[in-house]
Amino acid sequence: MTPLADCAAVTRTFGPVVAVDRVDLQVGPGEVVGLLGANGAGKTTLIKLLLGLMRASAGQVRLFGRPPSRQTRRRIGYVPQDLGLYDDLTVAQNLAFARSVFGGPAPALPASLRPFAQTLVGALPLGVARRAAFTEALAHRPDLLILDEPTSGVDPLARARLWETIQDAAEAAAGVIVTTHYMEEAEECTRLVVMAAGRVVAEGTAAGIVGDRRTAVVDTGDWAATARLIEAAGLPAVLAGTSLRVPGHHPATVQRALAGPGPGAAGPDSAAAAPPAGPVLARVHEEPATLEERFFELAQQALPSAS
């Protein structure tokens, strides 16, 4: 089957900057592909290439088996980060305008939007404006849906409801590409693509991307003092509730850090036998790394060594 979106070794340069670097990406019907990446990783450029707003410097972008064009754009529903609605038109006027551009049937307003049909978009609460943007993007029954941080700023129940809309579109055989910074959203995707420095650095399910990476977790009653000791040893300590996580490091290494720099403080090199030593009372154990921790590691590895 022809993928809905197909990037083959796509590269886009801006002068000396390589924003997108030999990216391969396929999205098929029913798939929800999450695009993860730090700022500057190349996500926005890749989306512009897919929308046909920008041409590839090298490689090939194909949508529905053809190069991007106005015809392919008609088969895409796009919700940009700032929603792309006209603030000084009402919800109904926005939808009518989109319909005159894309053609297709008049979209039925979902019940939750009906009370706002005659309200200017600029006066809507963000959650309602997001629903309006979704309704507009889906009105022409697009084959490919591109959503840039689709649920930013809404509460968890509203987020779950927006995701139901996205999953409904996927079940109706649309392909979906979602950019997100949040792991809560990443778990909704069937597949994740991690970008860093313009390249795809990991791809697969969240579990597959995390793999067997582990994180040392420090449970402590005094995390402030504990954090200071870990930092002093040059280890990255990330706060999580009242525990501290030290991604990519073995519990024994952390135990040694907690023993402090004092003379004779370092214990034997055995992880299993390491007692909760040191000037702070802390227990160290190991847990699987989170997707965010693995992502951070991938992003750091992709940085040019100069910075």
Q: Are 100 and 89 in contact (CB under 8 A)?
A: no
Question: Least distance (Å) from other proteins to the CB of residue 120?
Answer: 17
Beta strands in the chain (DSSP E): 5-14, 17-27, 32-37, 58-63, 76-79, 144-148, 175-179, 191-196, 199-204, 214-220, 238-240, 243-247, 282-288
Tokens encoding 148 = 């840039």
Rounded Cα distance, 259 and 262, in Å: 8
Q: Which is nearer to other proteins, 141 or 181 (CB)?
A: 181
Identify the CA nearest to 235 among candidates 220, 214, 250, 219: 250
Closest to other proteins by CB, 57 vs 119, is 119
What's the closest the beta carbon of residue 236 comes to other proteins, in angstroms?
8
Residue 106 Cβ, how far from other proteins at the closest point, in Å?
26
Of the two residues 76 and 174, which places its CB atom closer to other proteins in the complex?
A: 174
Query: Three-state SS string across 107-145, please?
Result: CCCCCCCHHHCCCEHHHCCHHHHHHHHHHHHHCCCCCEE
Q: What is the smallest separation between the CB atom of 40 and other proteins, expressed in angstroms?
A: 7
Give the nearer residue to other proteins in terms of CB position, either 27 or 237: 237
Q: From CA 172, how far away is CA 33, in angstroms rounded?
A: 15
Q: Would you tell me which residues interact with other proteins (CB under 8 A)?
A: 36-41, 81, 125-127, 149, 152-158, 160-161, 163-164, 167, 181-184, 187-188, 190, 223-225, 227-228, 236-242, 292, 295-296, 299-300, 307
**Nearest-approach distance from CB 35 to other proteins, in angstroms:** 12
Q: How far is the CB of 70 from other proteins (least distance, A)?
A: 31
Distance CA 96, CA 282 (A): 62
Name the token pair of 265: 């403080």
- What letter does residue 90 receive in the DSSP assignment? B
CB closer to other proteins out of 8 and 120: 120
Kindly tell me which of 28 and 52 has the beta carbon lying closer to other proteins.
Answer: 28
